[in-house]
Amino acid sequence: MSATNAKGINVLWFLPTHGDGRFLGTAKGGRAVDLKYLRQIAQAADDLGYYGVLIPTGRSCEDSWVVASALAPLTENLRYLVAARPGLVSAGVAARMAATLDRISNGRLLINIVTGGDPVENKGDGLFLDHAERYEVTQEFIDVFKDLLSGKTVNHSGKHLRFEDGRLLFPPVQEGGPPIYFGGSSVPAIDVAARSADVVLTWGEPPEDVEKKIKQFKAAAAAKGRTVKFGIRLHVIVRDTATEAWKAADRLISHVSDDTIAAAQKIFSRLDSVGQQRMLALHQGRREKLEVSPNLWAGVGLVRGGAGTALVGDPETVATRIKEYRDLGIETFILSGYPHLEEAYRFAELVFPLLPISHAKPIETGTVNTGPFGETIANDIRPSPLKQASQS
């Protein structure tokens, strides 16, 4: 493993715009995802001190741009990682939307470039390009998008995109535009990331596999005279004890039937995403061996596409595993848990004090009316606060 990264990490949470609940693969315990519920999660994440939230994209989700626009005015510090889909929207229009949302949020926009890995869904959205062509479009899209947000006038004539006198009249708050987050595992994805990404994202694979990917992306970026940062997308199941955490993991998939798994795996098999194929390889659609690395559990991926692994354990163990990824070079952690509202609180309360978080909110203390936190004992005695754990 590489040398320890002494810098603080950024921890983001997830907005479940495709649905939420207490169990996977069933309507039991399901929770309607409307603006009121998403507002609760976003405001909780804001109050708890998360760096930002990821808003997913795809036909199974509410539109990420509209959701971010609705929630940004209702939060104060929370950043919004919003998906831009090359080929589905003009790079010029996307740049104008990004500049507007960056101004509305006072510089709290982050951009997640999503090339898309489901040919069936892509065709339903009017996109009939193959895997290689989609990455060609992605590179042209990012080039134009970044130039416009940097204040340049764009005249571009490429294989797929053409612009004449493209420009923005109203600039973004962030100089040069919001940072670009980008995920992918294929050879074309590595090339796009090396040329254009600020933060390269990976799904939660075992540390040794993540280390190999980081080295690969670093080398590709260095060959182009660039450096990139790295982030990881994981679920988390944290409880006071390891036994409780593993029981919670089992409960999460307790209503998943073999037929449901088979149906999900059939859909996943049609995807041309290399990252999705790597996720599937971890569990191969079987329940027998879901702990694919110490405390890394692949049960989520039995029925959920995309990020399919969770860190499972007590707070100290999960914090240790996160630090192991940090030591490989991961600086951004995008986390989620079911249900997302309750688990946002649980993770922040149990694990934040154990992590070197760059954006951690100070622990508040004060008078009887404001702290320390906890229910007053016998109506007269305030509870004693625990010492904050070392952020090593």
Summarised one tens digit per residue, pLDDT across range 252-282 is 999 988 888 888 777 776 676 666 667 666 6
Which long-range contacts does 282-287 make (Cβ < 8 Å, 24+ apart)? 282/205, 282/206, 282/308, 282/309, 283/308, 285/261, 287/253, 287/261
Q: What is the chain's Cα-based Rg? A: 21
Tell me the helices (H) and strands (E) count for the chain, helix number first: 12, 15
Query: What per-residue confidence (pLDDT) applies to 381?
Result: 73
The residue among 180, 160, 189, 18 whose CA lies nearest residue 94 is 180
How far apart, in whole angstroms, are the C-alpha atoms of residue 370 and residue 194? 49
The residue among 131, 132, 159, 129 whose CA lies nearest residue 144 is 159
Query: What per-residue confidence (pLDDT) applies to 239?
Result: 98
pLDDT digits (tens, 9 = 90+) for 339-385: 999 999 999 999 999 999 999 776 554 444 555 566 766 656 767 76
Range with the lowest mean pLDDT among 2-16, 129-143, 196-210?
Answer: 2-16
Residues 158-174 have a mean pLDDT of: 97
Residues spanned by the domain of 55: 10-354
Residues 27-40 have a mean pLDDT of: 93
How far apart, in whole angstroms, are the C-alpha atoms of residue 231 and residue 329? 9
Query: What per-residue confidence (pLDDT) applies to 279?
Result: 64
Query: What per-residue confidence (pLDDT) applies to 388?
Result: 46
Does 322 map to a domain? yes
Q: What is the per-residue DSSP string for 77-94?
A: S-EEEEEE-BTTB-HHHH
Domain CATH number, residue 286 = 3.20.20.30
Does 383 map to a domain? no
pTM: 0.89
Q: Is the dihedral of CA 246, 352, 302, 231 positive or negative?
A: negative
Which residue is it, tokens 């080039």? 143
Does 390 map to a domain? no
How many structural domains comprise the chain?
1
Q: Is the dihedral of CA 322, 306, 343, 55 positive or negative?
A: positive
Q: Work out the mean pLDDT of the chain and round it to a whole number.
A: 89
Contact 309, 291 (CB under 8 A): no
Does 385 map to a domain? no
Query: What per-residue confidence (pLDDT) applies to 268?
Result: 72
**Can you read off the two tokens belonging to residue 171?**
């600039």
Please check the confidence at residue 4 and state whether its pLDDT lies above 60: no
Residues 305-331 have a mean pLDDT of: 95
The residue ranking higher by pLDDT, 372 or 214, is: 214
